[in-house]
Amino acid sequence: MNQKIGQREFRFEFEKSIVPLHDPVNPSEVYKGEPATATLRTMEGQTVTAQVYRLSPFGVEIVIADKGLAHLKAGDCLNLNIKIGRSDCSFEAIKVASIQFSEKRTLFGFRWCSQELSREEGKDRRQSVRWVCSENDLPTGMAQNPARFNEDIYFSIKSISVDGLHMITSFRNKFLLPGMMLEASLSFPCIGQVNATLKIVNVRVESNAGKPSLILGMRFVQKSPPLDEYVGQYVLQFGPGVSVQEIRQAGLKIKSVDSATQYSFVKSPADYHEVLELRHQAYSAVGKADRDADPLVMSDVFDTQSRILMARHGNRTIGSWRVTFHRSDEQNEYDQYVRFPKDFPRRDEILVLSRICTDPQYRGSDLFYGMMRQCLITTLQSKRRYLLGGCSDELLPLYQKIGFVPTGIYFVHGGLNKIKEQIILADSMNIILGKDVDFGIWKKFYSDLARYVE
């Protein structure tokens, strides 16, 4: 009760203020016993500890007893430190915005934030790449108010980078000022929840859904180990078409490309043109095609006989392959290069896999394994058992991980700059049973495919 009476006394003494210290928010009163104190140090070295009267994200009012520092006037500079909980918020050479005197006390007012309601467009103080979060899938967070017991601060994340984030929160959160530390829990949709220590760097006001909201620029001070992976995965799944390579170059990690990928068949001339462009980009990067060649040279007669599949990330085609179903009396693509042994599986038992390509900026991820999962599903749905393909010796270990077995039959591929390849064969039943396949890959991509087997 005495705490509130003390505040009323301040209110009666200093109610009339001509300087809008806290615009556009109403400040919160700080009562005795709450962990908020202030220390002022003049340029001459005089130090005074004071009581915080009212506080907002934009300014503070401080009461000093016995007219301490009465020689100061509005416009003078001093150093101000506000301690809230365990956070020290320091403001060097801040100007005194207002001074009011009563018989027993002096009220100093300070404002550290510009009165502009929004920052000038085009200015970005972040040195790292920053991504705007999807409005329909905003990450959210919660932090305890460091000054008040059992009071939580809820917020949404507007944009994010490897170094920090911009968060949106309500005007009711008054105890938020530059320099303050927040122990926050961040939640990323479809990914998970992670803890982080954040430091407030700046505060401003912007209109959000027609209402003014606080926008806080935050810097990561301490991260839980999975944070970079969660941020990278969020940007990949919900960001503006950012590639794996761009995310990694920004210092973030990727858990899975497959989870952010949509698979479909080529359905239009535009889809087919995208596939040819990707084939040319992927093959020319490894010497299977000339860089100056027309992407149309990546087509052949087997495209007209096949189902061509696409892997897409947002609006970008990042992977493609084709599968061909032959009758027992038909020749497949590899018949023009090799003669198969008599004990080889019949052509009507085989799904022929060819023209596999991935976007170079997505390599080194699990995209290839996700594509092969879709290929295996197609094989099982067609009631065929075997997958037939060809690869270079350099790529053979990769294909062996997913269940392909080398046959020792080599050929020179006339359609791919005469690259030497080997015929490889996979048994879909062995893959589903975990044979001939890397266990970790089987567990993640193939272990649930038994439902496709009658």
Phi (first) and psi of residue 362, to 5 degrees: -115, 10
Q: Are residues 284 and 415 in the same domain?
A: yes
DSSP secondary structure, 385-417, as one string = -EEEEEE-TTTHHHHHHTTEEEEEEEEEETTTT
Contacts for 252-257 with beta carbons within 8 Å, 24 or more apart?
Answer: 252/162, 252/228, 253/228, 253/229, 254/229, 254/365, 255/229, 256/365, 256/366, 257/313, 257/318, 257/362, 257/365, 257/366, 257/367, 257/370
pLDDT of residue 68: 64
Say if residue 204 is in the same domain as residue 286.
Answer: no
Q: Are residues 87 and 161 in the same domain?
A: no
Does 31 share its domain with 135? no
Pair 367, 273 in one domain: yes
Of 249, 268, 293, the last residue of a domain is: 249
Cα–Cα distance measured from residue 405 to residue 398, given in angstroms and rounded to the nearest whole number: 11
pLDDT of residue 84: 87
Is the Cβ–Cβ distance between 174 and 197 less than 8 Å?
no
Residue 220 lies in a domain: yes
Residue with tokens 């053979």: 396
Provide the token pair at 220.
Answer: 């990561």
Residue appearing with tokens 């027992």: 328
Do 296 and 426 share a domain, yes or no? yes
**Does residue 140 sit in the same domain as residue 264?**
no
Q: Which two tokens stand for residue 325?
A: 């179903």
Rounded to whole angstroms, the Cα distance separating 314 from 237 reads 8
CATH of the domain at 72: 2.40.10.220
230, 249, 268 - which closes a domain: 249
Give the whole-angstrom CA distance, residue 374 versus residue 380.
Answer: 10
CA-CA distance, 321 to 328, in Å (whole number)? 22
For the record, the structure tokens of 199 come out as 């430091």
Could you tell me if residue 324 is inside a domain?
Answer: yes
**Considering the domain boundaries, does residue 118 fall inside one?**
no
With 0-12 / 13-18 / 19 or more C-beta atoms within 10 angstroms meaning exposed / middle / buried, residue 300 is middle
Query: Which tokens sit at 423?
Result: 């015929």
- 203 found inside a domain: yes
Strand order of the β-sheet with 386-391 is 262-265, 306-313, 316-325, 350-358, 386-391, 419-427, 404-413
Supply the pLDDT for residue 270: 96
- What gap in Å lies between CA 188 and CA 198, rounded to an integer? 16
Q: CB under 8 Å to 249, separation ≥6 — which residues?
A: none
Which H or E run contains 269?
Answer: helix 269-285
**What's the pLDDT score for residue 96?**
86
Residue 197 sits in the same domain as residue 55:
no
7, part of any domain: yes
Distance CA 123, CA 184 (A): 27
Q: Could you give the number of structural domains in the chain? A: 3
Asked if 146 contacts 180 with a C-beta cutoff of 8 angstroms, the reply is yes
- Domain match, 137 and 53 both: no
HSE, side-chain direction, 13 A CA sphere, residue 16 = 2
Q: Are 180 and 84 in contact (CB under 8 A)?
A: yes
How far CA 69 is from CA of 50, 73, 315, in Å, comes to 11, 9, 63
Same structural domain for residues 318 and 443? Answer: yes
Residue 56 covered by a domain: yes
In a domain, residue 121? The reply is no
CA–CA dist 127, 235 (Å, integer) = 18
* Residue whose C-alpha is closest to residue 167's, from 150, 182, 145: 182
- In angstroms, the CA 273 to CA 20 distance is 61
First and final C-alpha spacing in the chain: 76
Distance of CA 202 to the CA centre of its chain: 22
- What is the sign of the dihedral through the CA atoms of 227, 229, 231 and 234? negative
Q: Which two tokens stand for residue 64?
A: 């000093």
Tens place of pLDDT per residue across the chain (454 aa): 344 434 545 554 455 554 578 888 888 888 878 888 899 998 888 888 888 888 999 999 988 876 667 788 888 899 999 998 888 899 988 888 888 777 778 888 898 875 443 343 334 455 678 999 988 999 999 999 888 878 899 999 999 999 999 999 998 888 898 999 999 999 999 999 999 999 999 999 888 777 889 999 999 999 988 999 999 999 999 987 788 999 999 999 998 999 999 999 999 999 999 999 999 999 998 888 888 889 998 999 999 999 999 999 989 999 999 999 999 888 898 998 999 999 999 999 999 999 999 999 998 899 999 999 999 999 988 999 999 999 999 999 999 999 999 999 999 987 777 889 999 999 999 998 888 899 999 998 988 887 776 5
CATH number of the domain where residue 403 is located: 3.40.630.30
Total-model pTM: 0.81
Amino acid at 228: D
Domain assignment present for 120: no
Of 203, 204, 154, 177, which is closest to residue 52 (Cα–Cα)? 177
pLDDT at residue 219 in the model: 95
Query: Does residue 220 share a domain with residue 290?
Result: no
Last residue in a domain, options 202, 219, 249: 249
Q: What angle do CA 287, 290, 293 make, to 5 degrees?
A: 155
CA-to-CA distance for 154 and 168, rounded, in angstroms?
9
Domain that holds residue 326: 258-452
Say whether both 292 and 441 belong to one domain.
yes
DSSP code, position 133: P
